[in-house]
Structure 1
């Protein structure tokens, strides 16, 4: 018998993804077969799955919490924003179309059969499915055709627990207000609530929790203190990346408008001897940076224009003249070349665009997306690393100077002095040996962390946090049979 419970938020960024990961690890430790599920996610931070597709990286972390490999059924609909008004629609791991928000709104209800298909298939392998909503069910203007929150919960007959965020203030209004605006059927589907991110003595909120329970009729499942090890887990948003380092070695990362797959930064931010600084639009690249890392992007040509509009191209050339290091990953790699050719208008208008010119390569965009988990070798050290590719386009050049091999083929490009590097591979820095060798070039010689071990310790600590502060037995009692 499989049971399911859905975690929804009274607003965005209330901590749903982390709570689901913690619940998944805690219940897995109790001996249950647990799987995460998110019907619809919007994120350019994606993970390659064991079945050759892509899902939101938050669901990949939740799968890890369940000690499972990520699978496309865990996040059947993924929206990857490409412009302010449009996004690529990925269904069960594969690109379906690129649509404007209004057009997606009209067709999203047609995706419910695929969502339920994935959910049912996942249920066949688990004792418990922990479902994560998106945004908030209080956005009742989006209720028609909804597949992300109450629309899914109704279709799959899954009970809901609502989470409020006390750190931003007004948590009573968040939860009671949600109760007030929901239609009766959706309101009845919510069985319990919890309050997240409390700083200080949680007993001080006892009266507040009683008020919420009395005004809603929902069961109080607990008030969770702030989880101070959150920074050790991969970040969902680039601005959640918190560099704990205070060392003199500085890595500057320009925040591209469509930044994607920035999990490359997580292992770097965990190092104590370096500082990762996210550079916002309108601010120059710092002159004292040791490395400028240009990350992946969902829109290479658009972000190349954005990069130049900030004056970062001038800052980057000055950085190179000073002898600084540069690393471009995926879209950042494409930007570092001499040209980007988009003959079919894959990223907008067809045309040929001049790159930053720091690597002797050019890129041709194509409609085929490469999605693959790979094993690579760093030619300078011989270190083997696990990585993944998730990109469109092919990059080549007569004097590229590759610095990696991937399953027998050359990968990446390097400048003549070896200080400017680019490649398509995400996840290289999760390998401690490779990270140590690369950072040694910047002057870091000790204090390197066990990154993967740190993530595991953080997941265990998160599960302990759930066991201590969340009524998990009560949560299981609210879960419904499917």
Structure 2
């Protein structure tokens, strides 16, 4: 039976996911069999698992760090926000409901059994389970019924290391303040601290670290410098989406309000001839873009209204008049059609909304979600592709007679008659190196010859070495029980 250690944060976005991935790879390098685990995650950036469910993208990366295929047990509760007050609830890989925040709070205690069931299955398979918390245990207003932080640590008997983020400032207050507000029983579960994202001379923070240790009574296991390779790993949080400044081939991506599975763009951001510009709300799509990509979204109709409110529909029309290209992925593909029908009110009030009308297609929403890892080919270039589907709705129409892809022997997606507008449901397609190279060359760019999977693995190895150099890994592993 495995030992376990939990990494919690003194705030959101302190780098927990990255630290867990690095610790997983470091433990694997030491010959341990390791599993990642996150009891509850909130993210629209999901991954399809080998067992046919979905989990947060960060846990899929952590599974890769362990040398494993991802599994639904690694993230048994996933919340996918659809509105400011409601989210789709996915339990052990399957959607069970869409709930408002207050209703989900009432459900949480009943989900603890599923969380512990998945945790125990992982423990039976490994020497070590490294657990990632969510948000912060300092949110003591959420402690009752908690399954993500101290509630899970208490129920499972897992020791905790608390991480602070020095890059945003106030890290002493983050950690000391957390100690001040925690109940004594929860404070006792914390076995140590780490400070993440440091820049500059570490000697300048020796007195600060000493103050934290003295005021909390928790020992330090490391001051972790900023990891410069972080941008080479898939990000999970929308707040981490950034542009990349590479070569002259510009790809513009409107930042939809419910943008999902945006790691589709990560392989393109590593290409030296490509610049990916994330276009924020209130800014026009740049006129010198070669292609506009409409990414996935958790709310197609809602984000289509958001797109129009920004005037991006007008920008896209102008872009096409200038000879540009448009690619829609999943929800972005649905937007390209003539109409989106939602008779059952899956994404909101029942009804229909007009699409952008760039492809002669119609999408009808239905409650059954398709979750599948798939492979096929891109007929235009003859290259093989791999990826995954994670969507509701079916799309049909005359332009489907010109499929963009062939997946598992069936046509997938559509292409306009002039060839400048295309779309499909397939996520992850740009991780296919030969296809990505052909697609970039078709736009007039120069492929960089990058092996994306090898780049990710090399970066995980570098992250593990980074933590080995700056953390007490032996001490951390000794905490696990």
Alignment TM-score > 0.5, same fold: yes
- Aligned-residue offset at 1:245: 3.4
Distance between the aligned counterparts of 2:18 and 2:449, measured in 1? Answer: 25
- Matched residue, 1:413: 414
Taking structure 2 as the reference length, what is the TM-score of the superposition? 0.98
Once the two structures are superposed, the pairs formed by residues 333-348 of structure 1 within 5 Å of their partners are: 333-348=333-348
Q: Greater shift after overlay, 440-449 or 191-200?
A: 440-449
Q: Greater shift after overlay, 442-451 or 15-24?
A: 442-451
**Matching of residue 356 in structure 1 with residue 356 in structure 2:** yes
Distance between the aligned counterparts of 1:267 and 1:171, measured in 2? Answer: 33
- Matched residue, 1:213: 213
Distance between the aligned counterparts of 2:420 and 2:297, measured in 1? Answer: 22
Once the two structures are superposed, the pairs formed by residues 62-461 of structure 1 within 5 Å of their partners are: 62-400=62-400, 401-461=402-462
Query: Residues 241 and 266 of structure 1 are in contact (CA less than 8 Å); yes or no, is this contact kept in structure 2?
Result: no
Distance between the aligned counterparts of 2:123 and 2:399, measured in 1? Answer: 51
- Aligned-residue offset at 1:223: 0.3
Structure 1 stretches of 5 or more lacking a match?
none
Deviations, residues 18-75 of structure 1 (Å, cap 9, x unaligned): 0000000000110000000000000000000011000000000000000010000000
Distance between the aligned counterparts of 2:363 and 2:333, measured in 1? Answer: 9
SS, match of residue 436 in structure 1: helix
Corresponding residue pairs, total:
480
Deviations, residues 396-453 of structure 1 (Å, cap 9, x unaligned): 1123211211111100000111111100000110011101111112211243422111
| Coordinate RMSD, CA, aligned | 1.0
Query: Residues 245 and 270 of structure 1 are in contact (CA less than 8 Å); yes or no, is this contact kept in structure 2?
Result: no
Distance between the aligned counterparts of 1:134 and 1:241, measured in 2? Answer: 19
Distance between the aligned counterparts of 2:7 and 2:354, measured in 1? Answer: 46
- Aligned-residue offset at 1:316: 0.5
- Aligned-residue offset at 1:142: 0.4
Deviations, residues 98-157 of structure 1 (Å, cap 9, x unaligned): 000011011111100000000001100010000000000000000000000000000000
Query: Residues 243 and 278 of structure 2 are in contact (CA less than 8 Å); yes or no, is this contact kept in structure 1?
Result: no
Distance between the aligned counterparts of 2:480 and 2:214, measured in 1? Answer: 22
SS, match of residue 305 in structure 2: helix
Q: Greater shift after overlay, 286-295 or 449-458?
A: 449-458
Distance between the aligned counterparts of 2:242 and 2:348, measured in 1? Answer: 34
Distance between the aligned counterparts of 2:447 and 2:329, measured in 1? Answer: 25
Distance between the aligned counterparts of 1:108 and 1:214, measured in 2? Answer: 36
- Matched residue, 1:26: 26
